[in-house]
Structure 1
Amino acid sequence: MAKLNTINPLVSTLPPLIGRAKGEKARDQHRRQTQPWRAWYNTARWERLRRQAFERDLYTCQRSGEMCAGTGNDPNSPVANHRIPHHGNPSLFWDIDNIETVTKRIHDGIIQSEERRSAIEGQWGD
């Protein structure tokens, strides 16, 4: 009876096809590589535009009516939210009428949930 030769496994040499490295730093790097428009958020023009939106809205959350009096990562700090997600469209990104003042709590909770849900629905054609 002939002896079978083993075949060296090739799976370990393949790069991962799904997912990406874990961690916030890796996530940020991935986003910078795949979404170059994210650099717009680091410009003086964006800082002026968001401040104009905050002043127009009197630092009041347009979703909850709460005063946006916090700073940094405080739940009630002001966030300039794009009403219609821009996905790199400069007309939507730079349009002050597309920007609303919301609290960080609302932005990171309700709004992010809405955006994830619409992305999934769009993916499934609903």
Structure 2
Amino acid sequence: MTYLPGDRQAFDRNRDQQGWRKWYKTARWQKLRMSVLVRDLFTCQMSGCGRIEGDTSQLVADHRRPHRGDELLFWDERNLQCLCKPCHDGAKQRAERRSDI
């Protein structure tokens, strides 16, 4: 990624992201993700959806409140919910961009 002179904030933000992205590849995350999916009965928690999905590759353990690299929020099971991929990739992302979350 190339940065314009004076774009220190963007550089710092990108650098910080690189650290926490690797957390998603850990056995600890996989175990936590599955416990959230089981807790929520493989059911999308998005208001108005409620889709039950047996294919776990189509489900996301979503952070209710974006963690933005905050390790405590990232690993907090109470901050996680089961969402189907369409809700996560659509409505949830739009809400986060609007800062509704």
| TM-score range relative to shorter protein | 0.7 to 0.9
Per-residue displacement from partner, 1:50-72 (whole Å, max 9, x unpaired)? Answer: 00000000100011111123354
Of 39, 52, 67, 2:52 maps to 67
- Structure 1, unmatched stretches of 5+, are 1-14, 19-30, 122-126
> Could you tell me which amino acid in structure 1 is paired with residue 52 of structure 2?
M
Q: Which position in structure 2 is the counterpart of 1:37?
A: 20
Cα distance in structure 1, aligned partners of 2:28 and 2:37? 14
Report the TM-score when normalising by structure 1.
0.64
TM-score, normalised to structure 2's length?
0.78
For structure 2, the 5+ residue unaligned runs are 6-13
Larger radius of gyration: 1
- The root-mean-square deviation of aligned C-alpha atoms, in Å, is 2.2
Q: How many aligned residue pairs are there? A: 89
Equivalent-residue separation in structure 1 for 2:3 and 2:69 (angstroms): 27
1:79–1:104 CA contact under 8 A, matched in 2: yes
Provide the rounded CA distance (Å) in 2 between the counterparts of 1:45 and 1:34. 20
One-letter amino acid of the structure 2 residue matched with residue 103 of structure 1: C
Give the alignment partner of residue 100 of structure 1, picking from 76, 81, 94: 81
Q: For each residue in 1:2-44, what CA deviation from the matched residue of structure 2 results, as whole angstroms up to 9, or x when unmatched?
A: xxxxxxxxxxxxx7629xxxxxxxxxxxx5x441111101100
Q: Which amino acid aligns with 2:30?
A: E
Instruction: Give the % identical residues.
Output: 47
How many angstroms does 1:116 deviate by?
A: 0.9
SS at match of 1:102: strand
Which of structures 1 and 2 has the larger relative contact order (alpha carbons within 8 angstroms, sep 6+)? 2
CA–CA distance in structure 2, aligned partners of residues 56 and 71 of structure 1 = 13
Out of 24, 40, 58, the residue aligned to residue 57 of structure 1 is 40
Contact 2:16 2:69 in 1 (8 A): no
Question: Is the Cα–Cα contact under 8 Å of residues 68 and 102 in structure 1 kept in the other structure?
Answer: no
